Structure 1
Amino acid sequence: MVIVETVLALRKIVGRARIENKKVALVATMGNLHEGHIALIDVAKQHADFVVATIFVNPIQFGPSEDLEKYPRTPDADQAKLKEAGCDLLFLPDVAEMYPEGFEAQPIVSVPRVSEGLCGAARPGHFNGMATIVNKMFNVVQPDIAVFGEKDYQQLAVIRSMVRNLNIPIEIFGAPTVRAPDGLALSSRNGYLNDQERAAAPILYQCLKDVALSLQRGSLDVEQLLDEQCKRITSSGFQLEYLEIRNAHDLSLTSETSGNLVILVAARLGKTRLIDNVVVSAGEL
């Protein structure tokens, strides 16, 4: 695995891969890698010949009260995991490389509709910052495909909408959520949980599964269904931000209780914000 820190060096190496007619994949991360990230590399390798991973903790997607400085950084371990996974090239830029004229001069990418509500309401400006850096990475690497995790479902939906509406010639793949044996979705932020919080955390996934099962069985009283699970979550020590059912394709609000739906949740446990989702084909049991 080759490691580069500049756009120029990256483009030279990717250019050589293209001369060899290799299909290029991108896996963009913020580091502190776990099995979920490595699963993205595995998907990329299935669909491309040359895999580029990026590690960049992007300042403009963090709010003023969020954990930019405390965000876990594990560069040595990350590099070892990527090398073992068969990544071909790791791009490790610093802030000056990605924002050479500063944040004030940086054009911002805003993706309407799909970025609104859910985490977009809880974290104002987050998706603008995320879409901007992903678009920059797309322009830097110019991959044929890019792989993102389905755990961050709204993020994936925002990226897909951006690619469609800006006519970006990249195929987007979603990789299934990787979970711990007790069901907790793997996340870099799980490391913030203390032992008691970690033991309680899987309740979120249990609630999602129960909602999904009820929808599959044809439940029509969605309001009562969600209310019961909201009470279950809060009584377990969480500060609930949202528990919602949306259209799985575009995250639009829906009153339908059949078809392809996604159940999404965000809640704080202590100081840690957890998100999760389950996609369900309702009314099919």
Structure 2
Amino acid sequence: MFVFKTVSELQQYLNSRRANGEQIGFAPTMGALHLGHLDLMRHSKAQNACTVCSIFVNPTQFNDPKDLEKYPRTPEKDLTMLESVGTEVVFMPSVEEIYPPGLDLTLKLDLNPLDQVMEGAFRPGHFQGMAQVVKRLLDIVQPDRLYMGQKDFQQFSIVGYMIRQLQLPVELVMVPTVRESDGLAMSSRNVRLSSTQRQAAPIIYQTLEWAKSQLDLRAIAEIETAALQRLSLPDFRPEYFQIVDGKTLQPIINPTKHDWIVACVATWVGEVRLIDNLALAQKTIPG
């Protein structure tokens, strides 16, 4: 496994792989890896000759400096995990390497309304920062395929929109959410839950499944309201439970008029903010 910390060294190596006609798969991460991240690597290795994983805690997508400070950093453990699944290349740049002084990396792309709803309403500026760093990493790595997890569904949707609007030469691949045995979506933040909170957290996925069972039985607004009530447990502070169109992320009123319907949820559990989502109906292929 090769570990690079500079853009020039990484690009020199990847250019040598491309010169041999090899395709490159890429998964950007912020470290604190779990089995869900390793699943991205496995999908990439199945489709590409070379798999690249970046580990970079991007400061521009944290609207709360305290959240950036608390974000777990476990580089040695991360490298061990990546090596265990045969990851070929790891890119671990500094902030200065990604955002060199004097280089204008402003993303000239209007994400509205994709970045205004759900997560965007509670984390202003988050998706502009996320899209900015993904674009920067894509420019550096120049992969054939980009792998992202379904758990961060709004992020996946916005990156897909950016790729289409800027006509970037990369295929976006959505990898299904990896869950614990009790249904809780794997997340780097789960380690911050207390044992009591961890026991209660599976109610998030259970509520998503309940919503799916109710899609043909109740009005959308009624499902959303009831779901928020189900999540109003001690130590829980739900922010939203919204049922949206999988492409536009806009609210749904009549499910029969949409081919791809996704329920998205965010809730605080103590001091930890968790998100999840579930496709309630899907007649189209994501992409």
TM-score, structure 1 as length reference: 0.94
SS of the aligned residue for 2:156 comes to helix
Q: CA RMSD in A?
A: 1.6
- How many pairs align? 280
Matched, 1:121 2:121: yes
Q: What is the CA–CA distance in structure 2 between the aligned matches of 1:224 and 1:83, rounded to whole Å?
A: 47
Partner of 2:150: 150
**Per-residue deviation at 1:109?**
5.0
How do 1:8-19 residues align onto structure 2 when only pairs under 5 Å count? Answer: 8-19=8-19
CA contact (8 A) 1:96 1:102 kept: no
Alpha carbons 2:105, 2:136 under 8 Å: kept:
no
CA distance in 2, matches of 1:282, 1:214: 15
Residue 225 of structure 1: SS of its match in structure 2? helix
Report if aligned partners of 1:60, 1:129 keep a CA contact under 8 Å in 2.
yes
Q: Show the counterpart of 1:181.
A: 181
Distance across 2 between alignment mates of 1:224 and 1:63: 32
The answer for the alignment partner of 2:107 in structure 1 is: 108
Which residue in the other structure is 1:223 paired with? 221
Structure 1 runs of 4+ with >3 Å offset: none
Unmatched segments (≥5 aa) in structure 2? none
* Aligned residue number for residue 252 of structure 1: 250
Partners of 1:282 and 1:32 in 2: how far apart? 31
Distance 1:109 1:26, change over 3 A: farther
> Normalising by the residue count of structure 2, what TM-score does the alignment of the two structures yield?
0.94
| Percent of aligned positions that are identical | 37
Q: Distance in 2 between matches of 1:109 and 1:54?
A: 23
Distance in 1 between residues matched to 2:234 and 2:212, nearest whole Å: 20
Give the deviation of 1:260 after TM superposition. Answer: 1.9
* Equivalent position of 1:232 in the other structure: 230
For the structure 1 residues 81 and 208, does the alpha-carbon distance in structure 2 shift closer, same or farther, using more than 3 Å as the test? same
Range that drifts further, 32-41 or 65-74: 65-74
Shift of 1:102: 6.6
Match of 1:212 in 2: 212
Offset of residue 108 of structure 1: 3.5
Contact 2:31 2:75 in 1 (8 A): yes
Instruction: Report the more deviating stretch, 233-242 or 50-59.
Output: 233-242
In the alignment, the residues of structure 1 paired with residue 157 and residue 241 of structure 2 have an alpha-carbon distance, to the nearest angstrom, of 17
| Secondary structure of 2:226's aligned partner | helix
